[in-house]
Structure 1
Amino acid sequence: MTKISRLVICLLIALSGTAACAEGYPMKPIRLVVPFPPGGTTDNLGRLLAGRMSEALGQQVIVDNRGGAGGTLGADIVAKSATDGYTLLFGTVSTQSINASLYKRLPFDPKKDFTSIATFATVPNILVVNPNVPVKSVQMLIEYSKRNPSALYMGSAGNGTTNHLSGELFKAMTGASFTHVPYKGSGPAMTDLLGNQIQLMFDNLPGSLPQIKTGNLRPLAVTGTKRSPVLPDVPTVAEAGVPGYEVGVWFGVLGPKNLPKEVVTKLSYEISRIARDKATVEKLTLQGATPLVSSPEEFSKRIQSDAEKWANLVRSSGATVD
């Protein structure tokens, strides 16, 4: 037998093994890497999806929080994992669309090193302040920040996250003045916001909603194009006097590149079905989130279009990270 013949046979065996694995998938627990610490919106939504996926797939889906570097550390783990569908990423617009223009050097290529599977949900951000800050509206915040340029600190889940860039866009459009303080996730930032170590935050709505309801935070505006049904009295930033302002955040599941098509198809179907399910919709709505369903191809296009959109703001804000 020639070397070429042996190579062909080995290749066929490898391909048949992959197909067989995909056909019986999943045959063991799946790790869902959430690239931010526990306690924030990404973690909450990731755990909701993981629980529903466990039921649908008949195998436990285990959340693995790997926060740091604006989601880059967790994303890198998945990019370098085996292409068998047992290590997945609960990615965000930050990890997949923003970080490429934010970081001068990434350990992976967001376009080439991942397989898009399915989106799950979208949320607006919400501008919240500690109640000790003497402002009750967006316009009052703008005026107060200009009079006291060193008095306000804005927390975020990390450099280049939508929390951060929502604030940069706000400053660019209003002339407001505050200092950005990046954290390793929105959970730690929220802790300091409640303690008044920082004074404001453009947080994902689900993360701030419980604190708003208890009066621990004061909401000023949501960043979407419409008011949230869970906070109907809170205006959009545009309604509050900043026309044209709009920021939305999506969450979805990805795997490393070259996932078997059968695995992608099965996961995409189940995640989309879960997102449409009445019980899931009710839980998302209570958190201020909205289901977002798309095919793998549509998901890839969304990642690319958002990368182009946010690259301009990253450049104009100077928010690059070495």
Structure 2
Amino acid sequence: AKAVPDGHTLLVTSASFVVNPAIYKKLPYDSIRDFAPVSHLCSSDGHILVVNPSVPAQNVKELIALAKKPESKISYGSPGIGNTIHLTAALFNAKAGTSMVHIPYKGSGAAMTAVAAGEVQVMFVTPTLGLPLIKSGKLRALGYDAPTRAPFLPEVPTLAEAGGPLTQIDASWHGMFAPVNTPPAVLARIEAEVRRAFTLPEVRERFQKLGLNPIGGPSAEFKPFVATAIKRMGEAARIGGVEPE
């Protein structure tokens, strides 16, 4: 945010960029005022709701019913406080009327290991992280948090189809930003180069292999996307009972 606005210093960041304003009371920057959106690079549509195979629930309705029982002591894992996985689970918890206990871990790897080992029973995972463990049978997928089914898991229903609440929080996205006072001509040149790169088949294929949708979208579309996402994350944190630190 405080770099020289000459186009030589750029920020490529994830969805945490729009989560942070909802989680932290005092940030050393303003996500809207201090940055110029350049391009929405890629996205992953929704999280996958998974459980440890030992959980007796075979579908979302059964999981909700189980989690509502006081004696069930169902817990859900996340990579820590204040990320899309945490907010998705907290929002699901609130909308479903369950009282699953949040267990934050230090990073995605530790959280994934915990749910696979049965230390926690439930987690919302990104496709990139979750698919290998789902395919190997170490996790069971109950629902996909998106309006339509995932092409890579066509047998798994959406949360709405399965009788659960949708959160519609993007599982993952990455975008490029520049310091806010970067000259418009410089921003336009960078944006043009990014968009050109995303027309290359090898670039698009690389993102797709990672379970990401290649976009390389224009700044005119990315700017309102960021503003809307910040508002949505704030609302998710409020409904999910996640207090800013």
TM-score with structure 1 setting the length? 0.68
Distance 2:243 2:6 in 1: 34
Q: Report 1:70-149 matches (<5 A).
A: 79-95=1-17, 97-123=18-44, 124-148=46-70
C-alpha separation in 2, matches of 1:257 and 1:149: 52
CA contact 1:122–1:289 (8 Å) conserved in 2: yes
Q: What amino acid maps onto 2:30 in structure 1?
A: D
Q: 1:158 to 1:114 in 2, by over 3 A?
A: farther
Residue 18 (structure 1) aligns with: none
Q: CA deviation at 1:119?
A: 0.7
Deviation at 1:296, TM superposition (A): 1.6
Alpha-carbon distance in structure 2 between the residues aligned to 1:265 and 1:182: 41
Q: Which structure has more RCO (C-alpha within 8 Å, separation ≥ 6)? A: 2
Quote the offset at 1:149 in angstroms.
5.7
Counterpart in the other structure of 1:151 = 73
Conservation of the 8 A alpha-carbon contact between 1:153 and 1:200 = yes
Q: Report the counterpart of residue 25 of structure 1 in structure 2.
A: none
What residue in structure 2 maps to residue 185 of structure 1?
107
Match of 1:222 in 2: 144
Q: 1:262 Cα deviation (Å)?
A: 4.3
Q: Distance in 1 between matches of 2:165 and 2:113?
A: 31
User: Counterparts of 1:239-250 in structure 2 under 5 Å?
Assistant: 239-242=161-164, 245-249=167-171, 250=173
The answer on whether the counterparts of 1:209 and 1:287 sit within 8 Å (CA) in structure 2 is: no
User: Relative to structure 1, is the Cα distance of residues 181 and 256 closer, same or farther in structure 2, using a 3 angstrom cutoff?
Assistant: farther
Deviates more, 1:275-284 or 1:221-230: 275-284
Contact 1:237 1:246 in 2 (8 A): no
In the alignment, the residues of structure 2 paired with residue 185 and residue 89 of structure 1 have an alpha-carbon distance, to the nearest angstrom, of 21
Q: Is the 8 A contact 2:146 2:166 kept in 1?
A: no
Separation in 2 of the partners of 1:110 and 1:314? 17
Partners of 1:295 and 1:306 in 2: CA distance: 17
Candidates 221, 238, 245, aligned match of 1:315: 238
Cα shift at 1:235: 0.9
Paired residue for 1:287? 210
Instruction: Give the stretch that moved more between structures: 300-309 or 184-193.
Output: 184-193
Unmatched tracts of structure 1, length 5 or more:
1-78
Q: Where does residue 65 of structure 1 map in the other structure?
A: none
**Cα offset, 1:244, TM superposition:** 5.1
- SS of corresponding position for 2:47: strand
Equivalent residue for 2:184, pick from 261, 265, 286: 261
Kept in 2: contact 1:122–1:251 (CA 8 A): yes
Deviation at 1:84, TM superposition (A): 4.1
Q: Secondary structure at the match of 2:48?
A: strand
**Separation in 1, partners of 2:199, 2:107:** 28
In structure 2, relative to structure 1, the CA distance for the partners of 1:243 and 1:147 (3 Å cut) is closer
1:231 is aligned to 2:153: yes
Q: CA deviation at 1:138?
A: 0.9
Deviation per residue, 1:61-95 (Å, 9 max, x gap): xxxxxxxxxxxxxxxxxx34443444433323332
CA drift of 1:118 comes to 0.7
- CA gap of 1:207–1:88, structure 2 versus 1, over 3 A, is farther
- Secondary structure of 1:248's aligned partner: coil
TM-score (norm 2): 0.87
Higher Cα radius of gyration: 1
CA 300–101 in structure 1, closer or farther in 2 if over 3 Å, else same? same
1:268/1:285 CA distance change after superposition, 3 Å: same
1:199 aligns with 2:113: no
Aligned-pair CA distance for 1:164: 1.1
**Is the alpha carbon distance of 1:266 and 1:232 closer, same or farther for their aligned partners in structure 2, counting shifts above 3 Å?**
same
Q: CA RMSD in A?
A: 2.3
Alpha-carbon distance in 2 for matches of 1:80, 1:134: 52
Post-superposition Cα deviations, 1:129-178, rounded to whole Å, max 9, x if no partner, equal 22222222111211121125663221223323211111122112211221
Deviation at 1:300, TM superposition (A): 1.3
Name the amino acid aligned to 1:217: L
Q: Give the partner amino acid of 1:111.
A: I
